[in-house]
Structure 1
Amino acid sequence: MDTNNPKVLVAGVGGVGGLIAARLVRRYGDKVTLIARGKRAEELKEKGLVTESDLYGCYTVRPSRVIERTDGAEKYDLIIVSVKNAALEGIAEQFKGAVGPDTVIMPVMNGVTAADRIHDIFPEAHTMMSVIYTVSMVTEDGSIRQLGNYTNIYTGPVVDNADERKRLNECIDVLNGAGIKTRSSDDVRAACWSKYILNCAYNGMTAADDVTIGDIKHNEAMVEEYREIMEEAYRVAKALGVMVPDDLVEGNMRKLYNTTDDSTSSLSRDFDRHVSGEYELFSKDVAEMGRSCGVDTPRIDAMHEKMLNRIASWK
């Protein structure tokens, strides 16, 4: 991969994908192609990709190519995938023509299964797991709004060997070249699970109970539920052989008390708009993984039921 002139495809131009796409287009120009369709594609073609960012400032880029699917005529060096988990196989079908034996694919998504699923679909490619820390969303007018003075990606190969590490470093150079702080992780699977365990409680409870972080941390029963949800997800990770840190839950409890009272989650904001979002990712999915390895998840199961009840109330 020519890291100064890479051919990049971004599949999914939502809050996170749009933030990444804007940086890549600004740095690499017409070497970057976006996959979008319907209203989103029209917005990008007519207005460009507008970003209002606490970290990067306010700017607009105009991607030279916005397509619905690749035609197979050219292969890409790097494909960034950023969609809801349920849409992963569908978007993979849209960009399958772009994948060749030298293509690096990096899902930047919630949860812990996306990279393995991509690797199963495209075994000939080079798939990187990743976890991103940022707050970014699409506003009503289609622009990207990023909050806070950080956006960090940690990444590593699904299959760890010297060739994959070389390609990983090239991918990191491309992203850092666009101003997206990206680092290699010694254990990317543990890094992904560490964020996921926190989000099962953070996203899950704020959405299921329609509460803010302040509501949780000032209620003793909710604090205990928050802890127990993380402990259940932690036990699932351990049973699956993931080397999550021993003090992860305690560290996340300290973070809870340092989080501002009015903080909420992307899933809670989805629920406020009567959009179910990725609710199963933080409840049903981890419970099913638990059952597969003999770990009970009663707190997570109960949270899932509360989510279903809240969704049913919208009808």
Structure 2
Amino acid sequence: MGENYNDKKIAVVGAGGVGGYMAAMLAANYPQVSLVARGERRKAIDEKGIILHSDYHGEVAARPMQVVESAAELTPQDYIFICVKNYSLEDVCATLGSCVNDGTVIVPVMNGADPGERVRALVPAGLVVDSLIYIVAFAGEDYSIIHQGGFADIRIGIQNASKEEAEKVQETYELLLGAGIDCKKAEDIEREIWRKYILNCAYNVETAYYMNTIGELRSDSVKAEEYESLVQEAYLVAKAKGIHVTQEHVEAIIHRFYFELAEDATSSLQRDIRDGKRAELETFGGYLVREAKRLGIEVPVSERMYEELKRRQQF
């Protein structure tokens, strides 16, 4: 399957955990992969390539065709995977003018409920394919990528896709499978995105609020109850937005909290706030609270935790 895509120009914007994983897998299988990375990270990849230490795939070492500081340096691409933090998305989109044409497929592989919507508003050309990824991956001190766990599962789709859009989704699916990336097509991609987002509105926000591991949260009955409340509040917002999530989805998220997540699990929001870095608080907390207010939904636990975390983030 992969050889059919060897003539495709593919760009990955961002070389953190997710972007580094995507770039390593794509560059190991396709010859025309460009990577956008900055500063010391770019220098390291230029010198050694992308090194992926994966519990799932083993050791992967790949050299992109080129590593550039900005997407503005690229010629038109067939596929662009945007793998950056949400607060960088507007800046990234402003650099895409030279590398996007009407035939370009743009796939934001990011946290949150609305990155695809935002890209569509900011980039007039090309076609946006929505996605989400379930993965535990992060960059090490040497900028190699550590991928933990036996899974890396990306879902892609376009809500209510036309025939032409469905064909582009199919081609993107084949491209990813050809790179050895586990991928599923989702007919209701909004529902899949919100299933992950509801989980993250509880998982990221409460681990950051208490600076606790998942094990510490679920061993405290008050904190565990608050976790359930965060899940239910996000679910109510999703339902009010017309997303086709169900109470069964909520129960599965809560079951995962009690029985599936590792005792020592932490979140990216928690780690970034702890380390004094800029964090995706507006993605996991602010967006939900603002949407709830717009829709007239009461989300008291989400609001309390978001406001306190926002206060701590003021430098």
Q: Are 1:101 and 2:99 matched, yes or no?
A: no
Asked whether the 8 Å contact 1:206–1:268 carries over to 2, the reply is yes
Asked whether the 8 Å contact 1:209–1:306 carries over to 2, the reply is no
Alignment match, 1:153: 154
User: Can you give the 5+ residue segments of structure 2 that lack an aligned partner in the other structure?
Assistant: none
Alignment match, 1:27: 29
Q: Structure 2 CA distance, aligned partners of 1:287 and 1:220? A: 24
Deviates more, 1:105-114 or 1:48-57: 48-57
Q: Structure 2 CA distance, aligned partners of 1:54 and 1:265? A: 19
Shift of 1:292: 1.5
Q: Structure 2 CA distance, aligned partners of 1:104 and 1:221? A: 46
Deviation per CA, 1:20-53: give whole Å up to 9, x if none. Answer: 0000000002x00111222221121122211111
Shift of 1:71: 4.9
Asked whether the 8 Å contact 1:105–1:128 carries over to 2, the reply is yes
Secondary structure of 2:265's match? coil
Matches within 5 A, 1:69-148: 69-71=70-72, 74-148=75-149
Q: Structure 2 CA distance, aligned partners of 1:73 and 1:14? A: 20
Query: Which AA in structure 2 matches 1:194?
Result: R
Shift of 1:309: 4.4
Matches within 5 A, 1:1-315: 3-29=5-31, 31-71=32-72, 74-158=75-159, 160-258=161-259, 259-311=261-313
Runs (4 or more) in structure 1 with deviation over 6 Å come to none
Q: 1:148 to 1:46 in 2, by over 3 A?
A: same
Shift of 1:248: 1.9
Secondary structure of 2:7's match? coil
Q: Structure 2 CA distance, aligned partners of 1:43 and 1:94? A: 23
Q: 1:126 to 1:113 in 2, by over 3 A?
A: same
Q: Structure 1 CA distance, aligned partners of 2:52 and 2:71? A: 25
User: Can you give the 5+ residue segments of structure 1 that lack an aligned partner in the other structure?
Assistant: none
Q: 1:216 to 1:188 in 2, by over 3 A?
A: same
Asked whether the 8 Å contact 1:118–1:127 carries over to 2, the reply is yes
Q: Structure 2 CA distance, aligned partners of 1:169 and 1:182? A: 11
TM-score, normalising length: structure 1: 0.94
Q: 1:170 to 1:25 in 2, by over 3 A?
A: same
Secondary structure of 1:243's match? coil
Q: Structure 2 CA distance, aligned partners of 1:69 and 1:262? A: 37
Secondary structure of 1:10's match? strand
Deviation per CA, 1:234-285: give whole Å up to 9, x if none. Answer: 1111111111123222111111111222111122222221224112211111
Asked whether the 8 Å contact 2:159–2:187 carries over to 1, the reply is no
Deviates more, 1:113-122 or 1:272-281: 272-281
Secondary structure of 1:191's match? helix
Q: 1:210 to 1:177 in 2, by over 3 A?
A: same
Shift of 1:159: 5.8
Secondary structure of 1:28's match? coil
Query: Which AA in structure 1 matches 2:197?
Result: Y
